[in-house]
Amino acid sequence: MLFSGNISKMRSEYGQPVHYFLPVGDQEIAMNELIGQSVKFRFTGQINCIACGKKTKTSFSQGFCYSCLQTSPEASETVTRPELSKAHLGIARDMDWAREHDLIEHVVYLALSSDLKVGVTRHHQVPTRWIDQGASFAIELCRTPNRHIAGVIEVWLKKYFTDKTNWRAMLQNQIAANIDLSEEKKNALQLLTPELQKYYSGNHKIWEFEYPAQRYPEKITSITFDKTPEIAGILIGIKGQYLIFDDGSVINIRKHNGYWVEVTVE
């Protein structure tokens, strides 16, 4: 079976395990069903900007052409550095966009994979954000009325927690041991200033994630469509936004937003 079109980050549905769907053009592939099967990907060389749709020779910041990188609100620096958001002051690349994305409730969280990390996401991205990062467990820490305040809390806590995911360890399914998220949440509260403590979340649910994988590789080789336009192998697992193949090679689908790819399922 052949699918062809621009791909974008995999859509996920929470379950035990997580269910993944790969958008290819106007179709979706139920990826869990392909685990254990031979799958071939061929990058045609065409990239379309995910903001304006124009062809671009180079993809910037996971899917944008250079022009949109400079102008699109989806590519602004506040996406990766929420503390820089000024939407609450009426300043943004696009205030209409900011009202829907920055001036809404945000969650500051603790997530556990190979390390305990702090992060920020929009409230409606729970639990998708944690799935995209390949977290094994996660808990809400704070709820804020806008992106800026969430970013300020994250920056404060980065003195005590990492804000990065070790993707290699995550794909080897290394999970930090002897960490109690409930206790870590209580400890994190004490690290906050009184002004920031008022955003502490009363939601103490611990989310647990199981990913569709037959096994996890001991050695990992990261591949991209730019350097390896044809990728074929037995799909043995999916975690985060990565596809994992039987030879230990992995590809981050999210990095290839807008790439025109032919997918053959044998």
Domain-located, residue 70: no
In this prediction, residues 37-42 reach a mean pLDDT of: 98
114 lies in the same domain as 147: yes
pLDDT tier for residue 163 given thresholds of 50, 70 and 90: very high
pLDDT tier for residue 226 given thresholds of 50, 70 and 90: very high
CB 52 within 8 A of CB 266: no
137 lies in the same domain as 193: yes
Share of the chain above pLDDT 70, in %: 100
179 lies in the same domain as 166: yes
pLDDT tier for residue 31 given thresholds of 50, 70 and 90: very high
- Domain extent, residue 102, equals 76-208
167 lies in the same domain as 228: no
125 lies in the same domain as 30: no
Both ends of the chain: CA-CA distance in Å? 7
In this prediction, residues 191-207 reach a mean pLDDT of: 98
How do residues 103-133 score in pLDDT, each as one tens digit?
Answer: 999 999 999 999 999 999 999 999 999 999 9
For the chain, the domain total comes to 2
143 lies in the same domain as 161: yes
187 lies in the same domain as 88: yes
Last residue of a domain, one of 189, 208, 227: 208
90 lies in the same domain as 196: yes
- State yes or no: pLDDT of 266 exceeds 90: no
Q: Give the global pTM.
A: 0.95
In this prediction, residues 138-163 reach a mean pLDDT of: 98
Last residue of a domain, one of 171, 190, 208: 208
200 lies in the same domain as 106: yes
55 lies in the same domain as 95: no
- State yes or no: pLDDT of 6 exceeds 90: yes
Domain-located, residue 71: no
202 lies in the same domain as 182: yes
Q: Would you state the pLDDT for residue 115?
A: 95
Q: Would you state the pLDDT for residue 162?
A: 95
225 lies in the same domain as 254: yes
Domain-located, residue 233: yes
